[in-house]
């Protein structure tokens, strides 16, 4: 079993604040790092898939970076909005998907 | 609309009974997956299949069985051998097991009484 860790476990921020989370993973046999957003009562949806060391991806106010050598990825949300409230999951793929436990974000209006 | 469907949304069964969870996709994806989620834990892989008539065990396959007779369908049977079957079950699919994003179904919450 491959250990993917996410921190913090939960986070409460005020609307308009910027925030970031961390995903740590073993760097050996690395293929790709995925980020998903999972809103309550919905299915998880993909945000980013990153494969190369130094990759940076951006979608609107959300961006992510990848460091495969040291085994971590950061997810950033700029100017958090209440609709950003969700659980953010990361997953590392080698020969299968290994998910972290997620970071639960609550944005307070 | 293309997507993944899981049925039923809620399922109740008596202890000792086998139960089969349905997962169907019309995305023409080769790979399909079953995950289990328990409170405070991440998604844990039960089984996955990269191609019809072939499947692989994930980290927590004991007490579960699957079949992949059609590309569109990947049913999961929770057998009486599964010691703690009450959980939320998610099905997913993608085109390339490692590099492409997964698409998830809405999930089935199984409660064993």
pLDDT score, position B83: 87
A34 touches chain B (CB under 8 A): yes
Residue A80: strand, helix, or coil: coil
Q: What is the DSSP string of B11-33?
A: EEE-TT--EEEEEEE-S--SEEE
- B73 DSSP 8-state letter: B
What phi, psi does B13 have (nearest 5°)? -140, 155
Pairwise CB contact (< 8 Å): B99 & A102: no
* B6, closest residue in chain A (CA to CA): A43
Instruction: Enumerate the residues of chain B whose CB falls inside 8 A of the CB of residue A25.
Output: none
* A45, closest residue in chain B (CA to CA): B103
Instruction: Enumerate the residues of chain B whose CB falls inside 8 A of the CB of residue A1.
Output: 59
Q: How far is B47 from chain A (nearest CA, A)?
A: 10
Residue B4 · residue B27 · CB < 8 Å: yes
- Taking the C-alpha atoms of residue B76 and residue B74, their distance in angstroms, rounded to an integer, is 7
Query: What confidence tens digit (pLDDT) does each residue in A22-77 have?
Result: 999 998 888 899 999 999 889 999 999 999 999 999 999 999 999 999 999 999 99
Provide the token pair at A38: 């999972």
- B94 DSSP 8-state letter: E
- Taking the C-alpha atoms of residue B113 and residue B12, their distance in angstroms, rounded to an integer, is 7
If one counts every other C-beta atom within 10 angstroms of the C-beta of residue A3, the result is 10
* B100, closest residue in chain A (CA to CA): A49
pLDDT score, position A40: 87
A56 touches chain B (CB under 8 A): no
Region B22-37 average pLDDT: 95
- Taking the C-alpha atoms of residue A85 and residue A79, their distance in angstroms, rounded to an integer, is 12
What percent of chain B is predicted at pLDDT more than 90?
74
Least reliable range by pLDDT among A33-42, B57-66, B97-106: B97-106
């Amino acid at each position: 079993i491959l250990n993917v860790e996410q921190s913090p476990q939960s986070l409460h921020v005020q609307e308009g604040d910027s925030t970031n989370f961390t995903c740590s993973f073993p760097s050996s046999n690395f293929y790709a790092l995925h980020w998903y957003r999972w809103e309550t009562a919905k299915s998880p949806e993909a945000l980013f898939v990153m494969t190369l060391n130094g990759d940076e991806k951006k979608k609107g106010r959300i961006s992510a970076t990848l460091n495969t050598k040291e085994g971590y990825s950061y997810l950033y949300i700029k100017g958090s909005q209440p609709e950003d409230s969700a659980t953010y999951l990361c997953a590392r793929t080698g020969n299968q998907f290994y998910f972290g436990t997620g970071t639960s974000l609550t944005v307070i209006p | 609309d293309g997507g993944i469907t899981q049925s039923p949304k809620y399922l109740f069964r008596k202890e000792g009974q086998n139960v089969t969870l349905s997962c169907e996709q019309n995305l023409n994806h080769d790979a399909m997956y079953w995950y289990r989620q328990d409170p405070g834990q991440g998604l844990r892989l039960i089984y996955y299949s990269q191609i019809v008539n072939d499947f692989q065990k994930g980290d927590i396959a004991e007490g579960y069985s699957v079949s992949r007779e059609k590309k569109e369908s990947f049913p999961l049977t929770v057998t009486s051998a599964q010691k703690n079957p009450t959980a939320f079950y998610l099905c997913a699919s993608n085109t390339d097991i490692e590099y492409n994003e997964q698409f998830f179904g809405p999930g089935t919450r199984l409660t064993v009484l």
